[in-house]
Amino acid sequence: MSSFSADPSHPRYQSLLSRHRLEQAAKQGMLADSALIAHGRGEAYDYLIGEKTSPNALEATKNALAHLMAGKNPVISLNGNTTALAGYELMKIAEYLQCPIEVNIFYRTEQRINALFGYLDEIKQEHDINVNILGKNPDTKIPGLKGPRAKCCDEGIYSSDVILVPLEDGDRCEALVAMGKTVIVVDLNPLSRSAKMASITIVDEISRVAKSMLNLIETNDLPVIEIEFNNNKNLQASVNIIAGNYRSV
Protein backbone atom coordinates (compact mmCIF):
# COMPACT_ATOMS: atom_id res chain seq x y z
CA MET A 1 0.00 0.00 0.00
CA SER A 2 1.34 3.48 -0.77
CA SER A 3 2.13 5.77 2.15
CA PHE A 4 -0.72 7.00 4.29
CA SER A 5 0.03 10.15 6.17
CA ALA A 6 -2.91 10.78 8.56
CA ASP A 7 -2.06 10.99 12.25
CA PRO A 8 -3.49 8.11 14.34
CA SER A 9 -4.77 10.72 16.81
CA HIS A 10 -7.02 12.19 14.10
CA PRO A 11 -10.64 11.59 15.17
CA ARG A 12 -11.44 10.19 11.73
CA TYR A 13 -8.24 8.13 11.44
CA GLN A 14 -9.92 4.74 10.88
CA SER A 15 -12.33 6.17 8.37
CA LEU A 16 -9.48 7.91 6.49
CA LEU A 17 -7.43 4.71 6.53
CA SER A 18 -10.34 2.68 5.11
CA ARG A 19 -10.90 5.28 2.39
CA HIS A 20 -7.20 5.18 1.54
CA ARG A 21 -7.24 1.37 1.32
CA LEU A 22 -10.21 1.49 -1.03
CA GLU A 23 -8.63 4.21 -3.18
CA GLN A 24 -5.54 2.02 -3.53
CA ALA A 25 -7.65 -1.04 -4.30
CA ALA A 26 -9.54 0.91 -6.97
CA LYS A 27 -6.23 1.96 -8.55
CA GLN A 28 -5.16 -1.70 -8.62
CA GLY A 29 -8.36 -2.64 -10.48
CA MET A 30 -9.81 -4.66 -7.57
CA LEU A 31 -13.11 -2.78 -7.27
CA ALA A 32 -16.26 -2.28 -9.29
CA ASP A 33 -17.16 1.34 -10.15
CA SER A 34 -19.92 1.35 -7.55
CA ALA A 35 -17.68 0.09 -4.71
CA LEU A 36 -17.06 3.50 -3.20
CA ILE A 37 -20.79 4.28 -3.26
CA ALA A 38 -21.47 1.07 -1.31
CA HIS A 39 -18.73 2.04 1.15
CA GLY A 40 -20.29 5.49 1.55
CA ARG A 41 -23.61 3.93 2.46
CA GLY A 42 -21.79 1.82 5.04
CA GLU A 43 -19.99 4.88 6.46
CA ALA A 44 -23.28 6.72 6.87
CA TYR A 45 -24.72 3.84 8.90
CA ASP A 46 -21.51 3.52 10.88
CA TYR A 47 -21.82 7.19 11.86
CA LEU A 48 -25.37 6.53 13.09
CA ILE A 49 -24.27 3.42 14.98
CA GLY A 50 -21.50 5.39 16.74
CA GLU A 51 -18.51 3.91 14.87
CA LYS A 52 -18.05 1.20 17.46
CA THR A 53 -19.01 -2.41 17.98
CA SER A 54 -22.32 -2.71 19.82
CA PRO A 55 -22.93 -5.48 22.38
CA ASN A 56 -25.40 -7.17 20.02
CA ALA A 57 -22.89 -7.01 17.14
CA LEU A 58 -20.26 -8.69 19.34
CA GLU A 59 -22.79 -11.34 20.33
CA ALA A 60 -23.59 -11.95 16.64
CA THR A 61 -19.86 -12.14 15.83
CA LYS A 62 -19.33 -14.76 18.53
CA ASN A 63 -22.32 -16.76 17.36
CA ALA A 64 -21.12 -16.52 13.76
CA LEU A 65 -17.69 -17.85 14.72
CA ALA A 66 -19.28 -20.70 16.68
CA HIS A 67 -21.33 -21.69 13.60
CA LEU A 68 -18.27 -21.49 11.34
CA MET A 69 -16.32 -23.69 13.77
CA ALA A 70 -19.17 -26.22 13.90
CA GLY A 71 -19.72 -26.29 10.13
CA LYS A 72 -18.81 -29.38 8.10
CA ASN A 73 -17.88 -27.29 5.04
CA PRO A 74 -17.58 -23.66 6.09
CA VAL A 75 -16.42 -21.08 3.54
CA ILE A 76 -15.57 -17.39 3.59
CA SER A 77 -16.61 -15.42 0.53
CA LEU A 78 -14.68 -12.26 -0.36
CA ASN A 79 -15.75 -9.41 -2.63
CA GLY A 80 -13.61 -6.43 -3.60
CA ASN A 81 -14.32 -4.12 -0.64
CA THR A 82 -13.98 -6.97 1.87
CA THR A 83 -10.66 -8.01 0.36
CA ALA A 84 -9.29 -4.47 0.57
CA LEU A 85 -10.55 -3.82 4.11
CA ALA A 86 -10.11 -7.19 5.82
CA GLY A 87 -8.33 -9.60 3.43
CA TYR A 88 -5.50 -10.43 5.84
CA GLU A 89 -7.71 -11.11 8.89
CA LEU A 90 -10.24 -13.18 6.93
CA MET A 91 -7.49 -15.34 5.43
CA LYS A 92 -6.09 -15.90 8.94
CA ILE A 93 -9.57 -16.90 10.16
CA ALA A 94 -9.94 -19.30 7.20
CA GLU A 95 -6.54 -20.80 8.01
CA TYR A 96 -7.68 -21.46 11.59
CA LEU A 97 -10.99 -22.95 10.39
CA GLN A 98 -9.15 -24.93 7.69
CA CYS A 99 -11.75 -23.73 5.22
CA PRO A 100 -11.37 -22.18 1.78
CA ILE A 101 -11.72 -18.53 0.85
CA GLU A 102 -13.74 -17.96 -2.31
CA VAL A 103 -13.36 -14.73 -4.24
CA ASN A 104 -16.86 -14.07 -5.49
CA ILE A 105 -17.77 -10.74 -6.98
CA PHE A 106 -21.00 -9.25 -8.23
CA TYR A 107 -19.53 -7.55 -11.31
CA ARG A 108 -17.20 -10.30 -12.48
CA THR A 109 -14.44 -9.49 -14.95
CA GLU A 110 -11.20 -11.38 -15.52
CA GLN A 111 -9.23 -8.20 -14.82
CA ARG A 112 -10.84 -7.74 -11.38
CA ILE A 113 -10.46 -11.41 -10.49
CA ASN A 114 -6.76 -11.29 -11.40
CA ALA A 115 -6.22 -8.09 -9.40
CA LEU A 116 -7.92 -9.59 -6.32
CA PHE A 117 -5.95 -12.84 -6.56
CA GLY A 118 -2.72 -10.88 -6.99
CA TYR A 119 -3.45 -8.84 -3.85
CA LEU A 120 -4.45 -11.87 -1.73
CA ASP A 121 -1.54 -14.02 -2.93
CA GLU A 122 0.90 -11.29 -1.91
CA ILE A 123 -0.52 -11.11 1.66
CA LYS A 124 -0.68 -14.89 1.84
CA GLN A 125 3.00 -15.24 0.94
CA GLU A 126 4.17 -12.32 3.08
CA HIS A 127 2.49 -13.77 6.19
CA ASP A 128 2.92 -17.42 5.27
CA ILE A 129 -0.83 -18.12 5.53
CA ASN A 130 -1.89 -21.64 4.65
CA VAL A 131 -5.24 -21.15 2.91
CA ASN A 132 -6.87 -22.36 -0.28
CA ILE A 133 -8.19 -19.46 -2.36
CA LEU A 134 -10.93 -20.43 -4.81
CA GLY A 135 -12.90 -18.45 -7.36
CA LYS A 136 -10.62 -18.17 -10.35
CA ASN A 137 -12.30 -21.00 -12.24
CA PRO A 138 -15.92 -21.29 -11.09
CA ASP A 139 -17.46 -24.56 -12.22
CA THR A 140 -21.09 -24.27 -11.12
CA LYS A 141 -23.86 -21.76 -10.38
CA ILE A 142 -25.94 -20.60 -7.43
CA PRO A 143 -29.49 -21.69 -8.36
CA GLY A 144 -31.98 -18.87 -8.86
CA LEU A 145 -29.47 -16.22 -9.97
CA LYS A 146 -28.78 -15.05 -13.52
CA GLY A 147 -25.59 -13.83 -15.18
CA PRO A 148 -21.95 -13.85 -14.03
CA ARG A 149 -22.84 -13.21 -10.38
CA ALA A 150 -24.34 -16.71 -10.19
CA LYS A 151 -20.94 -18.31 -10.81
CA CYS A 152 -19.29 -20.12 -7.91
CA CYS A 153 -17.09 -23.11 -7.10
CA ASP A 154 -18.44 -26.55 -6.26
CA GLU A 155 -15.60 -27.06 -3.79
CA GLY A 156 -16.35 -23.75 -2.05
CA ILE A 157 -19.60 -21.79 -1.89
CA TYR A 158 -21.77 -24.40 -3.60
CA SER A 159 -20.98 -27.23 -1.19
CA SER A 160 -20.73 -25.12 1.95
CA ASP A 161 -23.12 -25.54 4.85
CA VAL A 162 -22.05 -22.36 6.67
CA ILE A 163 -20.98 -19.29 4.71
CA LEU A 164 -19.60 -15.93 5.82
CA VAL A 165 -20.45 -13.41 3.08
CA PRO A 166 -19.63 -9.88 4.22
CA LEU A 167 -21.27 -6.97 2.35
CA GLU A 168 -23.49 -9.27 0.28
CA ASP A 169 -26.37 -8.02 -1.85
CA GLY A 170 -29.92 -9.05 -0.99
CA ASP A 171 -30.53 -11.21 -4.03
CA ARG A 172 -27.54 -13.43 -3.60
CA CYS A 173 -28.09 -13.67 0.13
CA GLU A 174 -31.64 -14.87 -0.53
CA ALA A 175 -30.41 -17.44 -3.07
CA LEU A 176 -27.83 -18.80 -0.59
CA VAL A 177 -30.45 -19.05 2.17
CA ALA A 178 -32.72 -20.89 -0.30
CA MET A 179 -29.92 -23.46 -0.76
CA GLY A 180 -30.31 -24.31 2.94
CA LYS A 181 -27.06 -22.76 4.14
CA THR A 182 -26.42 -20.92 7.38
CA VAL A 183 -25.70 -17.49 5.90
CA ILE A 184 -23.72 -14.99 7.95
CA VAL A 185 -23.57 -11.44 6.61
CA VAL A 186 -21.78 -8.34 7.83
CA ASP A 187 -23.74 -5.22 6.99
CA LEU A 188 -23.81 -1.85 8.71
CA ASN A 189 -27.33 -1.28 7.44
CA PRO A 190 -29.71 -3.28 9.66
CA LEU A 191 -32.53 -2.47 7.23
CA SER A 192 -30.93 -3.90 4.07
CA ARG A 193 -32.46 -6.92 2.36
CA SER A 194 -29.34 -8.96 3.12
CA ALA A 195 -29.49 -8.02 6.78
CA LYS A 196 -33.11 -9.17 7.00
CA MET A 197 -32.58 -12.30 4.90
CA ALA A 198 -29.48 -13.71 6.62
CA SER A 199 -29.37 -16.37 9.33
CA ILE A 200 -26.97 -14.18 11.35
CA THR A 201 -26.36 -10.50 10.61
CA ILE A 202 -23.39 -8.78 12.16
CA VAL A 203 -24.33 -5.10 12.09
CA ASP A 204 -20.82 -3.73 12.32
CA GLU A 205 -17.95 -2.53 10.15
CA ILE A 206 -16.12 -5.35 8.36
CA SER A 207 -12.60 -4.38 9.52
CA ARG A 208 -13.77 -4.31 13.15
CA VAL A 209 -15.62 -7.63 12.77
CA ALA A 210 -12.67 -9.42 11.17
CA LYS A 211 -10.24 -8.10 13.81
CA SER A 212 -12.51 -9.09 16.67
CA MET A 213 -13.18 -12.57 15.24
CA LEU A 214 -9.45 -13.12 14.80
CA ASN A 215 -8.85 -11.86 18.33
CA LEU A 216 -11.32 -14.42 19.72
CA ILE A 217 -9.35 -17.14 17.93
CA GLU A 218 -5.92 -15.87 18.93
CA THR A 219 -6.86 -15.48 22.59
CA ASN A 220 -8.55 -18.88 22.55
CA ASP A 221 -11.81 -17.24 23.65
CA LEU A 222 -13.80 -19.69 21.55
CA PRO A 223 -17.58 -19.28 21.57
CA VAL A 224 -20.30 -21.91 21.46
CA ILE A 225 -23.45 -21.72 19.35
CA GLU A 226 -26.11 -19.59 20.98
CA ILE A 227 -29.30 -21.63 20.64
CA GLU A 228 -31.49 -18.70 21.70
CA PHE A 229 -30.02 -16.31 19.09
CA ASN A 230 -32.78 -14.45 17.28
CA ASN A 231 -31.69 -12.42 14.26
CA ASN A 232 -34.75 -10.16 14.28
CA LYS A 233 -34.04 -9.17 17.89
CA ASN A 234 -30.40 -8.62 16.95
CA LEU A 235 -31.41 -6.31 14.07
CA GLN A 236 -33.91 -4.49 16.28
CA ALA A 237 -31.17 -3.84 18.85
CA SER A 238 -29.09 -2.10 16.14
CA VAL A 239 -32.08 -0.10 14.93
CA ASN A 240 -32.67 0.98 18.55
CA ILE A 241 -29.06 2.17 18.83
CA ILE A 242 -29.48 4.28 15.69
CA ALA A 243 -32.81 5.70 16.91
CA GLY A 244 -31.28 6.44 20.32
CA ASN A 245 -28.35 8.28 18.73
CA TYR A 246 -30.82 10.44 16.77
CA ARG A 247 -32.74 11.30 19.93
CA SER A 248 -29.61 12.19 21.88
CA VAL A 249 -28.51 15.12 19.63
Asked whether position 39 contacts ligand ATP by CB under 6 A, the answer is yes
Binders of ligand ATP: how many residues, by CB under 6 A?
A: 19
In this chain, which of 162, 188, 210, 242 binds ligand ATP, going by CB under 6 A? 188
Q: Is the dihedral of CA 53, 55, 57, 63 positive or negative?
A: positive
Q: Are 244 and 205 in contact (CB under 8 A)?
A: no
Q: CA angle, 91 as apex, 85 and 97 as ends, to 5°? A: 135
Asked whether position 156 contacts ligand ATP by CB under 6 A, the answer is no
Please say which residue, 14 or 159, places its beta carbon nearer to ligand ATP. 14
Number of helices (H) and strands (E), helices first, in the chain? Answer: 9, 8
Which one, of 5, 70, 30, 22, lies nearest residue 207 by Cα? 22
Q: Are 102 and 77 in contact (CB under 8 A)?
A: yes
* Distance in Å, CB of 86 to ligand ATP, minimum: 8
Please say which residue, 60 or 85, places its beta carbon nearer to ligand ATP. 85
* Distance in Å, CB of 19 to ligand ATP, minimum: 11
In this chain, which of 193, 223, 225, 226 binds ligand ATP, going by CB under 6 A? 193
In this chain, which of 53, 194, 201, 238 binds ligand ATP, going by CB under 6 A? 194
Asked whether position 38 contacts ligand ATP by CB under 6 A, the answer is yes
| Contact range with ligand ATP by CB under 6 A, out of 58-66, 133-141, 181-189, 232-240 | 181-189
Q: Is the dihedral of CA 235, 14, 64, 148 positive or negative?
A: positive
- By beta-carbon distance, which residue lies closest to ligand ATP? 42
User: Is residue 76 within a helix (H) or strand (E), and if so which, with residue range?
Assistant: strand 74-78
| Contact range with ligand ATP by CB under 6 A, out of 7-15, 130-138, 152-160, 180-188 | 180-188
Subset of residues 41 to 100 that bind ligand ATP, contact rule: CB under 6 A? 41-42, 45, 81, 85
Please say which residue, 97 or 173, places its beta carbon nearer to ligand ATP. 173
In this chain, which of 133, 186, 200, 213 binds ligand ATP, going by CB under 6 A? 186
In this chain, which of 206, 216, 235, 242 binds ligand ATP, going by CB under 6 A? 206
> Which DSSP symbol is given to 154?
I
Please say which residue, 133 or 186, places its beta carbon nearer to ligand ATP. 186
Dump the DSSP string for 38-52: HHHHHHHHHHHHTSS
Name the H helices within 104-205: 110-126, 170-178, 193-197
* For helices 110-126 and 80-97, angle between their N-to-C axes, nearest 10 degrees: 40
> Which DSSP symbol is given to 168?
-
* Distance in Å, CB of 18 to ligand ATP, minimum: 7
Considering only CA atoms, give the Rg of the chain. 17
Q: Around Cβ 117, how many Cβ atoms within 10 Å?
A: 17
Contacts with ligand ATP, residue ranges (CB under 6 A): 38-39, 41-42, 45, 81, 85, 167, 169-170, 186-189, 192-194, 205-206
